[in-house]
């Protein structure tokens, strides 16, 4: 009997890549559903009642943890597919929940699936989803770094070194201290979800800035910011008041 599995990921290429990897390397797993949004993921879980869910965390509208809070059927195992922060990863380990860092490696995928197979063969309990959500929800020590996928690796970047992020179509430039910048194949909205830090603020559609790196605010219709690297960032008119409240 094959393990019934579904994949939930808002990025189409990740959805397809994960499905292909599983089909090629995990003969005991049958992919019975794909969902490109948390809402569709909830529907699939409730209707199909899978044995295993491959779940992305950083998704728009609601993330993977929030999605799990909305399901009633919980008798399945989870393998997270993510580039999430170190606090969440610690929670996975504490609750014996497996995770795969993107881009997913074949050997790590096989190892994670083998653990699930072994667990099912021994008729062990499913992962404690409620316990995981409880541990994730506990107040955390203030995060100092964010995990960002750069050049096929996960880099732990200190928040303090990020000056601002600038979008360019479906890509985002991260401007760092030391006159450095990196390009990520993610939208600014996705980067905003990954950083998710109170010291950062979206001042307009194309810019997400670190408030600690603002040197000067120049008054105007929306205003302009002079950042610590000397660059100027325009503030949209509808963001002006919210920004000034944070700065004063």
What confidence tens digit (pLDDT) does each residue in 28-66 have? 999 999 999 988 999 999 999 999 999 998 887 778 888
> Per residue in 41-51, pLDDT tens?
999 999 999 99
**What predicted TM-score, i.e. pTM, was given to this entire model?**
0.55
pLDDT, mean over the chain: 85
Residue 52: what pLDDT?
94
What average pLDDT does this structure show over 243-248?
Answer: 86
Query: In the chain, what percentage of residues exceed pLDDT 90?
Result: 48
Residue 238: partners with Cβ closer than 8 Å, 6 or more residues away: 222
Tokens of 84: 């999430």
Rg (CA), the chain: 20
Asked if pLDDT for residue 72 goes beyond 50, the answer is: yes
Higher pLDDT, 248 or 180: 180
What average pLDDT does this structure show over 75-83?
Answer: 85
Residue 193: what pLDDT?
82
Domains of the chain, each with CATH number or no CATH: 3-137 (3.40.50.2300), 161-247 (2.40.50.1020)
């Amino acid at each position: 009997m094959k393990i019934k599995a579904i994949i939930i990921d808002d990025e189409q290429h990740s959805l397809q890549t994960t499905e292909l990897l599983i089909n090629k390397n995990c003969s005991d797993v049958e992919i019975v559903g794909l969902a490109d949004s948390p809402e569709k993921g909830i529907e699939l879980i409730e209707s199909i009642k899978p044995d295993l869910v491959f779940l992305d965390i950083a998704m728009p509208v609601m993330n993977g943890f929030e999605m799990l809070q909305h399901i009633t059927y919980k008798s399945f195992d989870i393998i997270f597919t993510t580039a999430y922060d170190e606090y969440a990863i610690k929670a996975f380990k504490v609750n014996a929940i497996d995770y795969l860092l993107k881009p997913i490696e074949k050997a790590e995928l096989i190892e994670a699936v083998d653990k699930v197979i072994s667990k099912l063969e021994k008729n062990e309990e499913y992962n404690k989803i409620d316990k995981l959500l409880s541990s994730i929800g506990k107040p955390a020590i203030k995060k100092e770094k964010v995990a960002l996928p750069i050049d096929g690796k996960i880099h732990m970047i200190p928040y303090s070194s990020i000056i601002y992020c600038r979008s360019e179509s479906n890509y985002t430039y991260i401007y760092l201290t030391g006159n450095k910048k990196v390009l990520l194949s993610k939208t600014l909205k996705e980067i905003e979800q990954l950083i998710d830090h109170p010291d950062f603020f979206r001042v307009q559609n194309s810019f997400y800035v670190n408030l600690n790196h603002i040197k000067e605010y120049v008054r105007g219709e929306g205003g302009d910011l002079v950042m610590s690297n000397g660059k100027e960032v325009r503030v949209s008119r509808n963001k002006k008041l919210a920004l000034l409240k944070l700065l004063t």
